[in-house]
Each structure stands twice: as C-alpha cells, then as structure tokens.
Amino acid sequence: MAFATAQPRVTTLVRVKSVALSRFAKPLVFGLSLIPFCWLLYAAIANQLGANPAEALSRATGDWTLRFLCVVLAVTPLRVITGMSALARFRRMLGLFVYFYAVLHLLSYGWFDMGFELADMAKDIAKRPFILVGFSAFMLLTPLALTSFNRAIKTLGAKRWQRLHQLIYGVACLAVLHFFWMRAGKNNFAEVYFYAVILAALLGWRMFKFVRTNRI
C-alpha cells in the first residue's frame, strides 16, 4: 500500500528533475525573473503606478530585491532536501537577478528622491540610518555580483570564493533591518515579519547543517 502511494510521487519527482535539467529550464527561469521588471516598465509607461509612481517604483524594486534574495537562498536547501542537484544551475542567475533589482532600486532612489545629485545622496546615506543599512547591503552584494563568473572562481580559488559569497548572509540580515527601519515610522511590520521569518528559516537551516556537519 505504501508502495502504491509512493510510486506516483517518485515519478513526479523524476519528471520535475528532468524539467530542471532540460535546456529550456534556464531560459524559462530567466524569462520568469524578468516579468516583474517588464511589468514595472509597462506600468510606468502606461501610467498604472498609482498616485505616487516614484514611490511605487522604489518600493516595488525593493520588494523584488528581497524576494529574489529569498529565492536564491532557498536554492541550496531545496537542492539538498529534494536531491535535485540540477537546481544549483539556477543559483548564479538568480543571484544576478538579486543584484539587477537592487541596482534598479538604487537607481529609483537616486533618480526620484535625489535627482542623481551624488553629493546629496552621500549626505542622505550618512544621515538616515535605514538608507545607510540598505546601501551597506548593496555594497556587500556588489563583490558577489562581480565575482559570479567562472573566471573569478578560478582566480580566487574555490575556497576563498565560497567564503566571499557567504557575505550573502550578511546581506539578508541587513535587508531585513533596512525594511524594518523603513517601516518603523509607520508602525507597519506585517510584511517585514513575513520576510524575516522566511530568511531566518533559510539561514537557520544552514546553521543547523553547519552544526551537524561542520560545512555550510
């Protein structure tokens, strides 16, 4: 009886594995990851961003940076739990999408809030702690994006590259703090807690694994 129920599950898993392995999977994930950008572009052009389009764009790009951060941090736990090693193929691309949405977020802040006045931006970053925290997260993300290519792995060596890319855990903590601080003025924390719980689970899984096997 147990075999009868396990069989379709195994078949589904094999099918999911072969889709993940197929050559269409990467372009598909790439296309899906671009949907938020295309939607925001369309909404901006079609005047669909509501009463305050600048704020809507800043917020949406911040939200998508955080969502992609959750997705990229979910790849390894999913890979280990399901045994689908093919999932690792998407990690680099998803990581670059975190950076892509973070750049859009920084650009919308720089453009709409600061009119690209670099001196004003520097003053604002130093003056407002939540912006400083967001900017620090962005600064930590930058070396990860710059070294996400095979040649960088070769140059740095796998161990040093891996250690550098553990900065992503710091980015996750700073991102939640940035979001928390930004919402503190409005006393509106529901979404902050939602992302904080997801990221805590994803980082907690790694800590648990590290304690058990001494490897992240």
Q: Where are the beta strands (DSSP E) in 35-184?
A: none
Which residue's entry shows tokens 């955080």?
A: 66
Please report how close the Cβ of residue 171 comes to ligand HEM at its closest, in angstroms.
Answer: 6
User: Residue 98 corresponds to which amino acid?
Assistant: V
CB 140 within 8 Å of CB 167 = yes
What does the alpha-carbon distance between residue 64 and residue 98 come to, in Å, rounded to a whole number? 8
Choose among 125, 69, 57, 129: nearest CA to 97: 69
Please report how close the Cβ of residue 164 comes to ligand HEM at its closest, in angstroms.
Answer: 16
Considering beta carbons, is residue 16 or 113 the nearer one to ligand HEM?
Answer: 113
Considering beta carbons, is residue 59 or 165 the nearer one to ligand HEM?
Answer: 59
Which residue's entry shows tokens 């161990």?
A: 159
Considering beta carbons, is residue 175 or 196 the nearer one to ligand HEM?
Answer: 175
Which residue's entry shows tokens 């096997």?
A: 213
**Both tokens assigned to 55:** 């704020």
Please report how close the Cβ of residue 204 comes to ligand HEM at its closest, in angstroms.
Answer: 19
Please report how close the Cβ of residue 85 comes to ligand HEM at its closest, in angstroms.
Answer: 28
Considering beta carbons, is residue 182 or 198 the nearer one to ligand HEM?
Answer: 182
Q: How far is CA 102 from the centre of its chain?
A: 9
Q: How far is CA 29 from the centre of its chain?
A: 14
Please report how close the Cβ of residue 138 comes to ligand HEM at its closest, in angstroms.
Answer: 4
Considering beta carbons, is residue 20 or 60 the nearer one to ligand HEM?
Answer: 60
**Footprint on this chain of ligand HEM (rule: CB under 6 A):** 55, 58-59, 62-63, 65-66, 69, 102, 105-106, 109, 113, 125, 131, 134-135, 137-138, 141, 171, 175, 178-179, 182
